[in-house]
Structure 1
């Protein structure tokens, strides 16, 4: 999580034209799944299988996530309006665990936060400005002032505790299947707590 002040608008008219609302993003993933596909430039049976699981994860989170009281008070107390720009893809497991939480928080803000979702592979010029340890890790949240589209903060690709788990498994030479099992097990036990707490700190720093 970092706060910053970019010297120029982050979101170009071209980016905005490619952006999805949350409902349109979800519909895109579902439509592609009916064709045996997922989002992104790479297609494989494995990625499609991950995307299918992610649809189920997002559906569950859409129904179950409750914004924590402190976070609810913080977003409803914002004195300015913000755009939350989210880089994501349908096949990304971390995105499936986090994007519904971002949307719930934005919806709870009573119009103070609006969301725009961009596909990573279609916006590499933007993605490459927000690398994590040199990689194009997603989801990535970029917080912009609504009036100027200047950047004020960024967050992602996952809560710090999950990132530490990921780095430890990577250092130990874990397979993708081991990564997925451990990380999604962590998300299931955490029940969005760390994600919401980190976003609360980000919002408090913005205020």
Structure 2
């Protein structure tokens, strides 16, 4: 097993433990992560509301449900996240709902800033973009990874950055609107396409 993965798994949280940690920190006026600021606290509070809503509203499609039911091999879904991350708030509830559908999926969450070595193994264009879902086999070998965003959301941000040179508040609002309209379908499909490509389902 990769040493960085082994170390991260020892510090991992269940989904409910992660949610409880983020909530407890918010009550203390804090966010997860090494950096503390009013902005990060504000984003954490927004994200908690988003996750509460998504847990009630996200539906797993019939097609994805059928694919998950075909999973016969035990896998671990290890997600790198932080409470202040807007993309993590949109994607984690989907991953959680998918994982809950199969006894063969063990979902674990780790904090990016507490697991720098692991994060450095899964950079996106040289950056520490999250969330990052790492799929591990029974021996905790890496099968594949997904994230930080589904392809249409990635393209939305990339195109805006090319045109404007920055990722600012207007595009962050557009991104949240995209997630709302997509209803988690792109994330579900891309994760299952990855699973299929590795012949897991």
TM-score by length of 2: 0.94
Counterparts of residues 9-48 of structure 1 (less than 5 Å)? 9=2, 12-48=5-41
Taking CA–CA contacts closer than 8 Å with sequence separation of 6 or more, which of the two structures ends up with the larger relative contact order? 1
Q: What is residue 137 of structure 1 aligned with on the other side?
A: 129
For 2:99, the equivalent position in structure 1 comes to: 106
User: Which residue of 139, 142, 156 corresponds with 1:165?
Assistant: 156
Kindly report the root-mean-square deviation, in angstroms, between the aligned alpha carbons of the 2 structures. Answer: 1.3
Residue 85 of structure 2 is aligned to residue 68 of structure 1: no
User: Is 2:177 aligned against 1:177?
Assistant: no
Segments of 5+ residues of structure 1 without an aligned counterpart are 1-7
Measured against aligned partners, the alpha-carbon deviations of 1:153-184 in whole angstroms (never above 9, x if no partner) come to 11000000100111112222245212311110
Cα displacement (A) at 1:31: 0.2
TM-score (normalizing by structure 1): 0.92
Q: In the alignment, does 2:197 pair up with 1:205? A: yes
Shift of 1:204: 1.5
> Which residue of the partner structure matches residue 192 of structure 1?
184
Runs of 4+ in 1 over 3 A off after TM superposition: 8-13
